């Protein structure tokens, strides 16, 4: 039986493929794709231009914090890193009059006392003049003289790093990392010692103040510590009322006829008022039967005092300028 001619003709049409609904263009060459990406990038920058200045960048950080994209601490660190590019060593250095220097010709006992009183770990060492810094001494290296008294102190010195006041903090931070150094002597345009700067000083411009064992935040009852020699270590931000309570005394201004402890929030502020200037390390002040010795400074603020009782017949106020 022969097939229907119409059916055969219809079936034969299936041998031809149906035309596609759409065609996929061939892949573009690498050069064309790169040009497309550049075009899209320029279009995005035109529609959403980025910050063109430091002020706009800071505003962008503030907006990001408001939208909870970044936290407050992250914003502060980003702003610190941005401002670091505009700062130099002279902006954050410790001024020369407040430096703690060691005399290469001083006896061992005197050097050891200086190291213990200051609480630092690195010290510039000078010979004959404070302007003649011959090296750096690590506090731990000084202890080697106890086991070998005949050892020459000069052999323990490490090379000093000198930088100009105009040295950018970005460049200085890279140099600290490259040289594996933590401290540099800052000199002015005439080559004289202007101060010193540490890697901690630079990093604090980004992350905020870095606290160490001297800077630890005292708790409510942890701002006064007894020492082995009968003295006390007292935090500079301790309320004067707590000083009076702990030592059972009154910080009284006999000349003015009033109690000073009620007029100041911190013992550091009271001592500065009494002295009439910002204290320096090693300076002493006596009042209320107590002697306050500045033990540690940071940023022009007293961090710690060494306090000991004195006789009632001692002068009410004694100041003693610290030496370099």
Number of separate domains in the chain: 3
pLDDT digits (tens, 9 = 90+) for 222-274: 478 887 678 888 888 888 889 988 898 888 765 555 666 667 888 988 898 88
Output the six-digit token pair for 24. Answer: 């996929």
Both 122 and 193 in a single domain? Answer: yes
Residue 125's pLDDT band (cuts 50, 70, 90): very high
Cβ-count burial of 292 within 10 angstroms (0-12 exposed, 13-18 middle, 19+ buried)? buried
Mean predicted confidence (pLDDT) in 37-56: 67
Output the six-digit token pair for 282. Answer: 């090693």
Residue partners of 135: CB distance under 8 A and separation at least 6? 124, 125, 154, 157, 158, 159, 160
How many other CB atoms are there within 10 angstroms of residue 205's CB atom? 16
pLDDT of residue 256: 53
**Which CATH number is 276's domain given?**
3.30.465.10
Both 109 and 201 in a single domain? Answer: yes
Instruction: Find the domain containing 280 and state its range.
Output: 224-309
CA angle 168, 169, 170 (to 5 degrees): 90
Give CA–CA dist 13/15, Å, rounded: 5
314 to 87, 117, 231, 317: CA distances (angstroms): 47, 23, 17, 9
- pTM reported for the whole predicted model: 0.54
Q: At what angle do helices 72-84 and 169-179 cross, to 10 degrees?
A: 90
165, part of any domain: yes
Higher pLDDT, 15 or 61: 61
Decide if 123 contacts 100 (C-beta within 8 A). yes
The dihedral through the CA atoms of 31, 34, 40, 41 has a sign that is: negative
Output the six-digit token pair for 22. Answer: 């759409």
Task: Tell me if residue 253 falls in helix, strand or coil.
Answer: strand
Both 185 and 230 in a single domain? Answer: no
Both 103 and 187 in a single domain? Answer: yes
Tell me which of 160, 181, 207 is where a domain ends. Answer: 207
Both 80 and 98 in a single domain? Answer: no
320, part of any domain: no
Higher pLDDT, 41 or 320: 41
Q: Phi, psi (5° rounding) for residue 237?
A: -95, 15
Task: Tell me if residue 304 falls in helix, strand or coil.
Answer: strand
Q: Phi, psi (5° rounding) for residue 234?
A: -120, 130
5, part of any domain: no
pLDDT of residue 9: 52
């Amino acid at each position: 039986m022969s097939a229907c001619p119409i059916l055969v003709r219809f079936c034969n049409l299936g041998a031809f493929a149906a035309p596609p609904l759409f065609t996929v263009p061939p892949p573009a060459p690498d050069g064309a794709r790169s040009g497309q990406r550049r075009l899209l990038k320029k279009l995005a920058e035109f529609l959403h231009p980025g910050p063109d200045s430091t002020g706009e960048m800071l505003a962008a950080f503030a907006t990001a914090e408001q939208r909870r994209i970044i936290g407050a601490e992250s914003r502060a660190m980003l702003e610190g890193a941005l401002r670091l590019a505009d700062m130099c060593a002279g902006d954050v250095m410790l001024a020369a009059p407040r430096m703690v220097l060691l005399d290469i010709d001083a006896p061992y006992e005197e050097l050891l006392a200086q190291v213990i009183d200051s609480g630092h770990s690195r010290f510039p060492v000078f010979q004959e003049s404070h302007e003649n810094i011959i090296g750096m001494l690590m506090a731990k290296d000084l202890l080697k003289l106890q086991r070998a008294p005949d050892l020459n102190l000069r052999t323990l010195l490490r090379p000093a790093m000198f930088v100009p006041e105009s040295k950018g903090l970005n460049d200085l931070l890279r140099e600290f990392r490259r040289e594996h150094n933590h401290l540099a002597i800052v000199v002015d345009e005439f080559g004289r010692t202007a101060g010193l700067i540490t890697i901690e000083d630079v990093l604090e411009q980004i992350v905020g103040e870095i606290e160490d064992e001297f800077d630890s935040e005292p708790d409510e009852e942890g701002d006064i510590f007894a020492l082995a020699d009968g003295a006390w270590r007292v935090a500079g931000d301790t309320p004067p009322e707590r000083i009076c309570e702990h030592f059972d005394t009154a910080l009284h201004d006999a000349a003015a006829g009033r109690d000073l402890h009620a007029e100041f929030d911190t013992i550091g502020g009271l001592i500065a008022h009494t002295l009439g200037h910002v204290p320096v390390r090693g300076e002493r002040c006596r009042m209320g039967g107590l002697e306050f010795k500045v033990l540690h400074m940071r940023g022009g603020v007293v961090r710690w005092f060494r306090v000991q009782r004195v006789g009632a017949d001692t002068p009410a106020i004694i100041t003693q300028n610290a030496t370099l």
